[in-house]
Structure 1
Amino acid sequence: MTNFKSLKSLNEHLSFYHIEDIQFKPYGKIISHYDFSELQSYMEKTTVPKDQNVYVASVSEMENTKVKEQIQLAFYGDMPVQVGYCNGPNSTLNGFEYHKSSEINIALTDLVLLLGKVQDINQNHYDSKNVDAFFIPEGTAVELYGTTLHFAPCKVTDEGFKAIVILPKGTNEPLDQRAPTLTSEDELLFMKNKWLLAHPERKMLIDKGAHAGIKGENLEVKY
């Protein structure tokens, strides 16, 4: 297991906290009333790519589980959900997304989430100096509120990270059509239920149409 104090000392350039610290309260909460073992068993079969993250929004085997039905009925108020995962070697911010809904993340390895607040977006830009970093121990499930800016987790070992991702069904799918631009926020709509700001260094996202809205350093988690 990762030593939190050692990790914190290596990341003095970040506002670095444990997920149990009170600083997490505006961003979300720890989820402790569900048994995610069915999903965790599936994740044992997945691998961590060495060169880039992989995100799979919906996995039928993970969705054909008792806990998925419980989450759908209770947590999301009987709204359809999708269960997938994100694995990878990432260690940098790269961008921020948000949804008009909560997201559940379950850490299958120790990892760090870099988080921000929608309220700190100013004229479609966000300054990375406002980012907070949170260490999440293996096995911890968290809710991220709809006002929480987030992106891919960051690794804390050479082996990379694994995380389960639960969202309303259809989130992160390609848009059927572009909505007319009525507000400045509409320029950030990137995929279904996904508003995105990219760091200028993340050219791959910008080439796909993401708004280059992150100012400041492309923060890196060191380990």
Structure 2
Amino acid sequence: MHIYSVNDPEFKPYGCVWDDVPSSLTAPLVEALSATPIPEGSKYVASAPELEQVEGADTLGLLMYGGRPFQLGWCNGHNTKLNCLEYHRASEFNLGARDFILLLAKREQIVDGKLDTAQVKAFRAPAGTLVEVYATTLHYTPCMVDDGGFQVMVALPAGTNGPRPEAAANMLAAGDSYCYWKADKWVLCHADSPKAAEGGYVGLTGKNLDITVD
């Protein structure tokens, strides 16, 4: 699998690199993120006070979401596999304390509820650079660049990835409800993924990509 840079032209359909954000805003977040744990597997915390209370976080949040309530969380760990792809109704912003790799595809590549993983592309993001991943981009758990693992800030509108609301039990079987998982979270799973075993919608066909072998 070829690994592009987020600075390559190939990334433009998937997101945007915010390379003009002052380091006075990003550096304190990177420092706080560096102190968060790196588990053997992966762990996601949707709203992390240790990031949200950093000086300048509100300024950055306004820049990203224009006054909409937001949350700053993190996803850390060790991972090399695709497993799933998800999307939200708004952009997600990522900022790494270490370099990390994103496996990405586009929503329009979903055909009849399925996506062939051969269409997935890999992009490496440098530490300390704020990266926007568009709402139309399918993404999931970052992958590590080396054995040290990954530490990635995940910024989203407040409530995203939160508990599945009770009303979802009566959600109409229409649109993309077939792959709805949690609050503002729609997921396509590979059959070999842990989330598929939890009852997630199996919508990825082909290989369950692994950046170390594919």
Query: TM-score if structure 2 supplies the norm length?
Result: 0.92
Aligned counterpart, 1:168: 157
Match in the other structure for 2:4 = 17
Q: Equivalent residue for 2:36?
A: 46
Contact between 2:84 and 2:189, CA under 8 Å: does it hold in 1? yes
Residue from 74, 90, 93 that aligns with 1:101:
90
The one of 207, 211, 216 aligned to 2:201: 211
TM-superposed CA distance for 1:55, in Å, is 0.6
Instruction: Name the SS of the counterpart of 1:213 in structure 2.
Output: strand
Distance in 2 (alpha carbons) for counterparts of 1:164 and 1:72: 13
One-letter amino acid of the structure 1 residue matched with residue 189 of structure 2: A
Superposition pairs for residues 2-151 of structure 1, below 5 Å?
14-32=1-19, 33-34=21-22, 35-50=25-40, 52-151=41-140
Instruction: State the 1:122 CA deviation.
Output: 1.0
Counterpart residue identity of residue 200, structure 1: A
Distance in 1 separating the partners of 2:199 and 2:187: 10
| Structure 1 residues not aligned, in runs of 5+ | 1-13
Contact conserved, 1:112 with 1:135, CA < 8 A, in 2?
yes
Contact preservation (8 Å) 1:181, 1:187: no
Secondary structure, aligned partner of 2:143: coil
| Residue of structure 2 equivalent to 1:187 | 178
Contact 2:62–2:68, Cα closer than 8 Å, also in 1: yes
- Aligned partner letter, 2:100: L
Counterpart of 1:191, as a letter, is: K
Aligned mates of 1:193, 1:42 — CA distance in 2: 26
How far 1:15 sits from its partner (Å)?
4.1
Alignment partner of 1:36: what SS?
helix
Q: Structure 2: how far apart are the matches of 1:184 and 1:81?
A: 26
Question: Would you say the 8 A contact 1:30–1:141 is kept in 2?
Answer: yes
- Asked whether the 8 Å contact 2:87–2:135 carries over to 1, the reply is yes
What RMSD in Å do the two structures reach over aligned CA positions?
1.5
Contact 1:103 1:146 (C-alpha < 8 Å) held by counterparts: yes
Q: How many residues matched? A: 208
The more displaced of 147-156 and 182-191 is: 182-191
State the shift of 1:194 in Å.
0.5
SS in 1 for 2:56: helix
Displacement of 1:182 in angstroms is 3.6
Equivalent pair of 1:190/1:209 in contact (CA under 8 Å):
no
Question: Could you tell me which residue of structure 2 aligns to residue 197 of structure 1?
Answer: 188
